[in-house]
Structures are given as C-alpha cells and as structure tokens.
Amino acid sequence: MKFFIAFVLTFCMAVNAFAEQVLYCAGTVRYPSGEPAVGVRVEYYPGFHMGAGDYAEVRTDASGRYEIIGPKDLSAYDGMFIESNSIMARDMERNLAAVQDVYMTITNVELVLQPAITLSGSVKNTEGAPIAGAEVELRFWFGMSHVLEAHPVKANELGQFSMSALPQGREYEVFGVTAKGYGFDTADAHPQDTRTSHYEFPTFVLKHADKKIAGRVLDKDGKPIASIEVAFSGKGQPMNSKEKWGQQPFCNTTTDNEGKFSFDNACDAPLRVYVFPHDNAHYNGGSMEYLDAHGGDTNIVIRLNHE
C-alpha cells in the first residue's frame, strides 16, 4: 500500500512539473577578456520532450544580458524525455561563438565566446557546372538534430556557400543540399574535424532529376487500385517532402482510376517505390509495400497481397 501511495504521489508530482513547465532562461554573454558581449545573437534550440518550448532568438543588451521567455509547447512531446536543449551565442562580426547544452530546469546560463569555425562548401552538377541558388540546410547535434537556421543558406552564383560563427568541436550535418531540377546530397562534419577555424565540405554533386518512373498498383487479384498514395526516395534522389517518415525525404503522388502512377523528376540512380495502403479507404490499416527500381523504369508493378 505504501509503495502504491508513493508511486501515485511521485507520478502526480512529475505530471504537475511537466504541466507547469515554461521556457525561461537568462544569463550573460562575455568575451574571453570578461567584457560583456553587446548586441550578439543568442539562440535557444529546444529538445524533444514535453515543455521544451519553441526555437527562440534574442539579442544581448548593453550589459551583455539576455533573457528568453516562451510559452509551454506540448507538441514537442512524443513519448521521450530527452533533455537536449541547447543555448548558443554567436558574434557574426568577430566570428566567435559559444554553446551550452542544458536541462529544462536550468534557468541561468553564462556563456563565454570563443574562436568559432566557418563551414563552407560548393555545389555542382554532374557536368561540373556550379548550381547557383542551391539551398543548404545545416544541423548540429546534441542528443538530437537541431536545424541551425530558420531558412536554408543559398549558394552564390559560383555555387559556393559559407556559414560562420559556429562553435568548434561539434558534430554538424548538411542534411540536404537541394536545387530545382536536381536530386539532393548530404554530408557530415565530425567533432574531430571541427576543432579548427575552418572546415570545407567535399563538393556536393547533384544529379539531374529528369528521368521518368511509372507503373501500376494492383490488388492480389490483379485489379487496379485507385486513389492510393505512392512515393519514391533514394540516395541522391530529389527531396520534396520530409513529413511521412520524419527525416526521410520522398516524392509522392496518388494512383488514377486505372491504378497508374508516374513521376518525371527521378534521377538516373537506384530508388525505392513505396505504397501506403493506410491512406486508402479500402486498405486502411494495411502495411506499407515497396519495390526497388531505378530512374527511367516505366513498367513498375506493385501488388498488395492483403485486403
């Protein structure tokens, strides 16, 4: 009985603590000399747990102080309590940065700016020509992947990009380099490679997304299935959406009345075609089916062997 009462009290206290969680953190940003850093950017990156809050960005005041206050956000909760919040300060002009990984309950974080790293790279097509305007999404890791900027960085007319004032010794990931009419590419920069003032990613080479793939979706009796979702993805293939499987990029469409589907934006490379029965009224609850193919295949047939 005592164990049960203790368990209930503990559970209620935990629930109450989470229910009252509000994003709040304050502190001072200083230079190594001790001088307050005035007007520098301070960024809050929420973890993936209840009460984590939203991304927030402020500037330090005349004394180097900052304060981040935000509403409770339960949408970040997905069954895990990963305390992976991060607070980062960046002086873009002096190329200095500092980052501190914190728990939700910590409300005071003092940051001392240190020499930062600049990450750069270039984007080309398979003919070696630069891809101007290619978009680069950079992420850094602590327990989970944080998107660094609200909007992707764009390559210049020479296909080059650069991101400065980032903390050294962190793991960075270019999750996706994309451009209209092309596939995408990714790359990682590991902590041992970022303990320096500059790191250049290997050249990103994007393939032309100009191949067609097409086929039909049939039931176990060989009859066409209309209005069922079909998608494809693969290494280097174009990246149109990230919603279906979290971070897994894919391109999607639905079959017509004859069970036919087609895409005209595949790359000349291996890919996998997926069918999602749970998005169809008749097959709702069915498991996902897939078939390996290649850009340019136009006679793909996928059979659903369940009702």
Q: What local confidence, expressed as pLDDT, does residue 7 receive? A: 40
**pLDDT confidence bin for 282, thresholds 50/70/90:** low
Q: Could you give the percent of the chain with pLDDT greater than 90?
A: 60
**pLDDT confidence bin for 245, thresholds 50/70/90:** very low
pLDDT of 85-136, one tens digit each?
A: 889 999 999 999 999 988 766 789 999 999 999 999 999 999 999 999 999 9
Number of Cβ within 10 Å of residue 221's Cβ equals 6
Kindly report the CATH number that applies to the domain delimited by 211-303: 2.60.40.1120
pLDDT of 209-222, one tens digit each?
A: 999 999 999 988 99
Cα dist from 148 to 125, 273, 296, 298, whole Å: 25, 31, 36, 39
Q: What local confidence, expressed as pLDDT, does residue 276 receive? A: 85
Instruction: For the sheet with 300-303, list strands across it.
Output: 260-266, 211-218, 300-303
76-90, 194-208, 218-232, 276-290: segment of lowest average pLDDT: 76-90
Domain map (residue ranges) of the chain: 21-114, 117-206, 211-303
pTM for this prediction: 0.79
Mean pLDDT of the chain: 83
The CATH T-level fold of domain 117-206 is: Immunoglobulin-like (2.60.40)
Whether residue 132 contacts residue 181, with contact meaning beta carbons closer than 8 Å, is answered with no
Whether residue 101 contacts residue 174, with contact meaning beta carbons closer than 8 Å, is answered with no
Q: Identical fold at 117-206 and 211-303?
A: yes
pLDDT of 4-24, one tens digit each?
A: 434 433 434 444 444 444 567
Cα dist from 88 to 46, 107, 231, 284, whole Å: 11, 14, 37, 45
Judged by phi (left if over 0) then psi (alpha if -120 to 50, else beta), residue 303 lies in beta
Q: Which amino acid does the sequence have at 64?
A: G
Cα dist from 258 to 28, 131, 217, 291, whole Å: 64, 39, 9, 19
> Dmax of the chain from CA atoms?
76
Q: Is a pLDDT exceeding 50 seen at residue 3?
A: no
Judged by phi (left if over 0) then psi (alpha if -120 to 50, else beta), residue 191 lies in alpha
CATH class given for the domain over 21-114: mainly beta
Residue 259 CA to chain centroid, in angstroms? 33
**Over residues 47-72, mean pLDDT:** 79
d(CA 142, CA 202): 23
Tokens of 12: 């209620």
